[in-house]
Amino acid sequence: MEIEMERALDFMTEVAASLMSYGSPTTRTEIWVTKIGQKLGFQVDIAIIYTVIYITIRDKDGNFKSITKRLFSLPSDFEKFMRVDTLVKKFVDGNIQLAEAHIELKKIINDQSTYSIFLRLIAAALTCGGFEYVLVGGTMSAIASMVLGAVVYAATNYVKLLNNRFFQQFTSGIMISIGAWLLVHLFKGSTLSGVVSGSIMLFVPGLLITNGFSEISQASVISGTIKESEAMALLIALVFGIFAGTVFVGGMNF
């Protein structure tokens, strides 16, 4: 029984950790993990507070086992999220056994398949250019934003000097302000504020702010509040980075 509990808890923890890492909302993850536990005949208590997962399972005799898992990075991956989600659904519906599901889960976690760097850079460029065009306006600024956005995206995602998000945001800010100053001279008709506005869109944690609010209103108050705080800290790092860059290139007026 002890071993069974351990295997169940191990699987549940890995499911929770992977779902959270790949971009699942907190509430959905808690529901899925509870369903897995119930399927295996346990009573489940789960609390996910952003990067920390607490799970306790209890059997019919009152024996219980708890685990605390700390997550260190949450790089959203929707493809893996959907695969894990489908796997959990299969398990809860009884179409797959625990051991088999665990092996399948490990396969998904270790799978490295992703889009090529070239395609990602095009996506980054289209995102920046598109946002600049609809939010600020100006074709030349949008084109300059596409170039700068792709370059800064490549620099922050593929040349990781330090694995620290705040440092990444700060350096992105510096690169954006200096790059924008250079590109304004190359792309005649573009504006400094326009280029900066488009290029920052990949780094502004707007989604974190919105998700944080959604979680607060869905009773995950602590998790939502932490997301809001993180978003503010990331935003501050980005803004200070941009201001540090302007030290080199002169004043910037938005």
Partner 1 sequence: MNIIINSIIAGVASGSFTILYNARFSDALIAGAIGALGWFVNSTLNGYGMLTATLISAFTIGIVGRVISRVRHMPSQPLIVGGIVVLVPGFMAFKAMNAFVVGKNTEGTTLMLNTFLTAAAIGTGLIVAVAITAIIFKIRIRR
**What mask of x and - would describe binding to partner 1 in positions 214 to 243, judged by CB under 8 A?**
x-xxx------------x---xx-xxx-xx
Query: How many residues does the structure list for the chain?
Result: 254
Beta-strand ranges (E) seen in 28-159 are 43-49, 52-58, 64-70
Q: How far apart are CA 128 and CA 81, in angstroms?
A: 25
- CA angle centred on 51, ends 48 and 54, rounded to 5°: 35
Q: How far is the CB of 175 from partner 1 (least distance, A)?
A: 15
- Binders of partner 1 among residues 20 to 79 (CB under 8 A) are 23-25, 28, 76-79
What is each CA distance from 24 to 46, 50, 220, in whole angstroms? Answer: 15, 11, 13
- Binders of partner 1 among residues 96 to 125 (CB under 8 A) are 114-115, 119-120, 122-125
Q: How far apart are CA 20 and CA 83, in angstroms?
A: 13
The residue range among 55-63, 91-99, 130-138, 163-171 that interacts with partner 1, by the rule CB under 8 A, is 130-138
Interface residue with partner 1 among 209, 222, 225, 249 (CB under 8 A) is 209
Q: Considering the rule CB under 8 A, would residue 204 count as an interface residue with partner 1?
A: yes
3-state secondary structure of 49: strand
- Binders of partner 1 among residues 144 to 203 (CB under 8 A) are 153, 197, 200-202
Q: How far apart are CA 246 and CA 251, in angstroms?
A: 6
Considering the complex, state which of residue 85 and residue 183 has its C-beta at the smaller distance from partner 1.
85
Tokens (6 digits) for 24: 């699942």
Residues contributing to the site for partner 1 (CB under 8 A): 23-25, 28, 76-82, 85-86, 114-115, 119-120, 122-127, 129-131, 133-136, 153, 197, 200-202, 204-207, 209-210, 212-214, 216-218, 231, 235-236, 238-240, 242-243, 254
